[in-house]
Amino acid sequence: MASTGGPLHDVRIISVEQFGAGPLATLYLADMGADVIKIEDASTGGDVGRYVPPGIDRGTSLYFEAFNRGKRSIALDLHSDAGREVFHRLVAECDVVFSNLRGDLPGRLGLTYDQLKERNPAVVCVALTGYGRSGPRAMLPAYDALVQAEAGWAALTGDPDGPPTKSGLSLADYVVGLSAALATMVALHDARRTGMGRDVDVTLLDAALAMLTYPATWYLSAGHRTERHPMSSHPSIVPFQFFRTADGHVAVACPKEKFFTRLAEQLGRPEWTADDRFADFESRRQHRTELTDLLDAEFAKRTTAEWLELLTGEVPIAPVQSLDEALERDFLRERSMLVEYEHPTLGAVASVGIPIRLDGFEPMPRPGPLLGQDRDQILRDLGADEREIASLAERGAFGSASLDGPSR
C-alpha cells in the first residue's frame, strides 16, 4: 500500500471521483496518509478536472493537481465484467468506497453497501451526490453555482441594490467535500469498532443548507429575514464590515462591546460610546446607517497601512488583499501552508496545503497521478502477475485510453 506514513497510513480508499467536491474530500485524507486510489474512465479521458484550463499538459492540469496530489490512479471500465472483477478485488482489500457522482449512478455502477457487503462486510460506501440517491432529483447533475443559488447563498451575498452574487470560490463544493471527509472518518471509525460497514450519503444541497446556520434559525424560529447590507456588513453586528480607506479597503469587526469602545477611542470619538444610538449591539443595529456614515468618513481620512498601524491589537482589523498579496510565498511558508513539488509533466507545482496541524507529522506532497499510471502496481498488490494483467486488458477491464481530452 502506498503511504506517506501519516496517521491514516492504514486506510485505503477506492474513489470514483471527479472535478472538485469529491477530490477535495479525499485530498484531505490523502494528505493525512491514506492510500487513495482513483478509479477513472479512460474512454472519457478520466477525471474531467484534468482538462480544466489554464495549465493543461498531456492529460493533466494545475486544476487537477490542486485536488489530487498524493493519490494513485487506475483506469477501469466499471461497465465491463473484467473491470468489475478488478473493482471487486479492490473492494475486498479497502476500507472505503467513495464516489461523487449523479445520485442514480452509485446504484447503477454497483457502489452501494448492499451490492458490496458480501465481498467486504466492513466496507464504508460514501456517496457524495447533488440531491441524494433517491427521489425525483436523483438523476440531475448539480454544480456549485446552482446550489449557491438554490440554497439562498447568492441572495445573501452582494450589495443590497446589486444582483444576487455567487462567492468567488466554489464554497458549496468545498463545504460538501469537507462534510464528506468527516462523514467518511466517522463511519470508518464505527466500522472498525463493529466490523460492519454501511452506506453514507452526503449531498451538495444539504451541505449548503446546513451552512445557513443562524440566518436559518432566525427565520425558522422567529420569521426574521436576513437582508444584504452595503460593504459586506454583518446582518446584526455593527460595525462588522469593510470600509474604504484613502488607498484601499479594510475589514473591521466589533463582535464585543469592548472593541467598539476601543474603536471610538482610537478614532478620537469617545463620545460615541455615550451616544444612546450606539450604546449596545441592538441600538447600533437600529442606527446602522448613522453609525456607518460616521465611520465611512473617518476611515477615508487615512491609508490602509496607517489604519493597520493604529488599530492592530486594539480592534480586530485586516487589510482587504488581492490574491497575489494573500498568496505571498514567504507568508505561506511561515504559516506552513505552501506545498511545492516537481511534477513529471507540469514541472514545478506550488499550491496551498490543508489547514490541519498534527504534532509530530508533516504531510509529504507527491504529484497527482497521470491517468492510469499506477495500474500495474495496484494489480500486483492484489496478486496479479503480468500474464493476468494482460488478460484483463484483453477482456476490456481498463477500457480504451483517451488522453486527447474529455468526451463531449
Tell me: do 76 and 198 sit in the same domain: yes
Task: Please name the residue that has the C-alpha cell 463511519.
Answer: 187
Position 1 confidence tier, pLDDT thresholds 50, 70, 90: very low
Residue 173 annotated to the active site = yes
Mean pLDDT within 20-29: 98
Sign of CA dihedral 391, 394, 395, 399: positive
Instruction: Please say whether the beta carbons of 304 and 250 come within 8 A.
Output: yes
Q: For residue 140, which of 149, 148, 131 has the smallest C-alpha distance? A: 131
Structure-block grid coordinates of residue 97: 468506497
Q: For residue 53, which of 407, 341, 352, 406 has the smallest C-alpha distance? A: 406
Counted domains in the chain: 2
Residue 395 backbone dihedrals phi, psi, to 5 degrees: -85, 5
Tell me: do 189 and 239 sit in the same domain: no
Domain boundary residue among 319, 345, 378?
A: 319
Which pLDDT does position 328 carry in this prediction? 97
Residue 399, in any domain of the structure: no
Between CA 318 and CA 249 the distance in angstroms is 9
Q: Is 226 exposed, middle or buried (0-12, 13-18, 19+ CB in 10 A)?
A: middle
Mean pLDDT within 404-408: 49
Q: Is the previous residue joined to 239 through a cis bond, with omega within 30 degrees of 0? A: yes
CA 142, 145, 151: angle at the middle one, nearest 5? 80
Is residue 309 helix, strand or coil? helix
Structure-block grid coordinates of residue 111: 457502489
Residue 406, in any domain of the structure: no
Residue 126 bridge partners (DSSP): 98, 200
Tell me: do 300 and 254 sit in the same domain: yes
Between CA 313 and CA 311 the distance in angstroms is 6
Mean model confidence pLDDT for the chain: 95
Instruction: Please say whether the beta carbons of 14 and 25 come within 8 A.
Output: no
Number of C-beta neighbours around residue 3 at 10 A: 13
350, pLDDT greater than 90: yes
Residue 41 bridge partners (DSSP): none
Residue 120, in any domain of the structure: yes
Between CA 166 and CA 154 the distance in angstroms is 5
Which pLDDT does position 406 carry in this prediction? 53
The active-site residue out of 35, 173, 199, 374 is 173
Tell me: do 315 and 335 sit in the same domain: no
Mean pLDDT within 221-242: 97
- Strands 35-40, 12-16: pairing kind: parallel
Q: For residue 100, which of 141, 61, 66, 150 has the smallest C-alpha distance? A: 141
Domain that holds residue 303: 230-244+249-319
Tell me: do 185 and 98 sit in the same domain: yes
Tell me: do 196 and 237 sit in the same domain: no
Tell me: do 235 and 360 sit in the same domain: no
Number of C-beta neighbours around residue 217 at 10 A: 11
Structure-block grid coordinates of residue 164: 444576487
Residue 407, in any domain of the structure: no
pLDDT in tens, 287-312: 999 999 999 999 999 999 999 999 99
Instruction: Please say whether the beta carbons of 7 and 361 come within 8 A.
Output: yes
Tell me: do 150 and 283 sit in the same domain: no
Position 330 confidence tier, pLDDT thresholds 50, 70, 90: very high
Residue 388, in any domain of the structure: yes
Between CA 336 and CA 251 the distance in angstroms is 24
CATH of the domain at 172: 3.40.50.10540
Residue 197, in any domain of the structure: yes
Percentage above 70 pLDDT, the chain: 97
Domain boundary residue among 290, 319, 348?
A: 319
| Model confidence, pTM | 0.93
Which pLDDT does position 5 carry in this prediction? 77
Tell me: do 268 and 304 sit in the same domain: yes
Residue 324, in any domain of the structure: no
Which pLDDT does position 387 carry in this prediction? 97
CA 319, 322, 328: angle at the middle one, nearest 5? 90
CATH of the domain at 235: 3.30.1540.10
Domain boundary residue among 287, 319, 351?
A: 319
Position 75 confidence tier, pLDDT thresholds 50, 70, 90: very high
Residue 254 backbone dihedrals phi, psi, to 5 degrees: -125, 70
Tell me: do 297 and 351 sit in the same domain: no
Tell me: do 207 and 149 sit in the same domain: yes
Structure-block grid coordinates of residue 246: 484613502
Beta strands in 118-168 (DSSP E): 124-129
Tell me: do 152 and 205 sit in the same domain: yes
Is residue 129 helix, strand or coil? strand
pLDDT in tens, 232-253: 999 999 999 999 999 999 999 9
Residue 1, in any domain of the structure: no
Position 230 confidence tier, pLDDT thresholds 50, 70, 90: very high
